[in-house]
């Protein structure tokens, strides 16, 4: 019975306004999604319960969130987008990951921050095969390299190259894969 309920729910998600929701992809309930017409999700991807997609269209840009094929995203995922956030194929994310491509502007000290506009700060790209650990935060304008790891509770403020491990706040690369020796090495 549970499989039937999931298939029915998945069917209604597919016909309910996403730009694309691929074959066998599921966003578990409950989840909150603003402006799902700006979301593309590939085939066979899974997003766990209590996820929040906060997508806002500005006068200058049509936002875009794209999640590739075969991704698995943990519970309480929070993505805030006014520009572009791309998650490649075969990406694994633990619970409580936060990703944003913007900030709340605070440049005018005479206006409360809540009344100031959202300010784009750079697109976010997570390349194929990467892993993002529990409670990680990916700040605007970063790229996570192919098959790279972001450690638990890390705050990524700068790009992480391909085949690297980054940890900490702010995150720093501590390992990379040495292709000549075919092993991971501390930096």
Please identify every residue annotated as catalytic.
104
d(CA 80, CA 85): 9
d(CA 147, CA 42): 19
Question: Which DSSP letter does residue 116 get?
Answer: S
Interstrand relation of 64-67 and 98-100 (parallel, antiparallel or unpaired): unpaired
Compute the chain's Rg from CA coordinates: 17
Q: What is the DSSP string of 137-185?
A: EE-TT-EEPTT-EE-TT-EE-S-B-TTEEEEETTEEEEEEEETTTTEEE
| Core vs surface per residue 115-143: b (16+ CB within 10 A) or e | eeebebbebbbbbbbbbbbebbbbbbbbb
d(CA 180, CA 172): 23
């Amino acid at each position: 019975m549970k499989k039937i309920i999931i298939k029915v729910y998945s069917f209604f998600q597919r016909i309910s306004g996403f730009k694309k929701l691929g074959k066998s992809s599921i966003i578990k309930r409950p989840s909150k999604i603003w402006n799902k017409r700006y979301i593309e999700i590939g085939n066979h991807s899974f997003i766990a319960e209590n996820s929040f997609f906060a997508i806002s269209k500005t006068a200058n840009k049509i936002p875009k969130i794209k999640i590739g094929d075969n991704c698995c995203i943990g519970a309480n995922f929070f993505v805030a987008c006014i520009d572009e956030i791309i998650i490649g194929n075969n990406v694994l994310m633990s619970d409580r990951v936060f990703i944003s491509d913007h900030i709340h502007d605070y440049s005018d000290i005479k206006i409360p921050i809540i009344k100031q506009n959202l300010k784009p700060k750079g697109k976010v790209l997570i390349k194929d095969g990467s892993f993002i650990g529990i409670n990680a935060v990916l700040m605007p304008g970063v790229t996570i390299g192919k098959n790279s790891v972001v450690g638990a509770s890390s705050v990524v403020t700068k790009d992480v190259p391909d085949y690297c491990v980054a940890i900490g706040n702010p995150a720093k690369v501590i390992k990379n894969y040495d292709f000549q020796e075919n092993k991971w090495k501390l930096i």
